[in-house]
Amino acid sequence: VRFRTSRGGMLDISAPAAAVLVGHRQLTPDALEAGGMLLGRHIKGTSDFVVDEATLPIMKDRRSRFSFFRIKKPAQNRVTEAWFESHGSCNYLGEWHTHPEDDPSPSGTDEGNWKRIVTKTRSEHTSLFFLIVGRTRIRVWEFERGTSAPAELTELA
Ligand SMILES: [Zn+2]
């Protein structure tokens, strides 16, 4: 799966990451929201990013049909681990979560959370990606630090 950013760069979702996202779609009435982090790389000398890994929800995350809160500490350890394993190339790129709707759009809570994460996260990138997995469609927004609202990416066929 591949998206184009507002600045003309690409965001590529690797096959293993896409499998995690698609595998957590809320297809049944009792399926809970799921989510995790997007880990990956900026391709040097380009505006392109690759999501290598979508981390799995963990037991301690608070999940319901209509909400998902990721607990922070183990997640931070996972980012550090990925960074070391990849000799510094694999970084935190953003967050993903599911919605129980076909074509997802961010809730007010989502936008508030994203803004808080963008403001608080120390990252070498000026923006982070926020992905929502709907039942039939995946959408991605890029939130640039210092801006007031996220910009949606365009999915490429
Ligand atoms: Zn949401």
Report pLDDT digits (tens) over 51-89: 999 998 887 778 888 888 887 766 778 888 888 888 777
The pLDDT tens digits for 14-54 are 999 999 999 999 999 999 889 999 999 999 899 899 999 99
Rounded to an integer, the average pLDDT of 82-103 is 89
Instruction: Kindly give the distance from the C-alpha atom of residue 36 to the centroid of ligand 1, in angstroms, as a whole number.
Output: 12
Beta strand pairing call for 10-13 and 2-4:
antiparallel
User: Is 128 within 8 Å of 93 (Cβ atoms)?
Assistant: yes
Instruction: Kindly give the distance from the C-alpha atom of residue 98 to the centroid of ligand 1, in angstroms, as a whole number.
Output: 7
Q: How many CA atoms lie within 13 A of 89 on its CB side?
A: 11
Instruction: Kindly give the distance from the C-alpha atom of residue 88 to the centroid of ligand 1, in angstroms, as a whole number.
Output: 30
pLDDT of residue 90: 82
pLDDT of residue 79: 81
